[in-house]
């Protein structure tokens, strides 16, 4: 039968995001690390002039750093949305 399958309730909304960035010093890495599990406000700009974007609150779920020999490095982070994601067009 259908045992073990999740059923989605129509009308419920959620959002998540995966982001990438760069940290160049220990201060940036410390701030990044301290945000794991914390609520953060985010804005995702999709227009060059910065007038079209998504914004909302999220929890930082994971952070995956990649460092290099010169101490700079990149990271990816997974965010889980808290409440609505707002879309702004101007």
Q: pLDDT tens digits for 22-68? A: 887 778 888 888 989 999 999 999 988 889 999 999 999 999 988 76
User: If pLDDT is split at 50, 70 and 90, which confidence band does 9 have?
Assistant: confident
Task: Name the pTM for this structure.
Answer: 0.74
Q: How far apart, in whole angstroms, are the C-alpha atoms of residue 58 and residue 55?
A: 10
Alpha-carbon distance values, 69 to 24, 30, 72, 73, 90 (Å): 12, 18, 8, 9, 42
């Amino acid at each position: 039968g259908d045992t073990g399958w999740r059923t989605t309730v129509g009308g419920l909304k959620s959002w998540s995001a995966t982001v990438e960035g760069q940290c160049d010093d220990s201060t940036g890495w410390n701030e990044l690390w301290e945000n794991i599990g914390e609520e953060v406000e985010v804005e995702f700009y999709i227009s060059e002039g910065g007038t079209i974007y998504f914004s909302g609150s999220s929890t930082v779920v994971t952070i995956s750093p990649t460092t290099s020999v010169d101490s700079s490095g990149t990271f990816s982070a997974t965010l889980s949305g808290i409440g609505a994601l707002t879309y702004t067009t101007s």
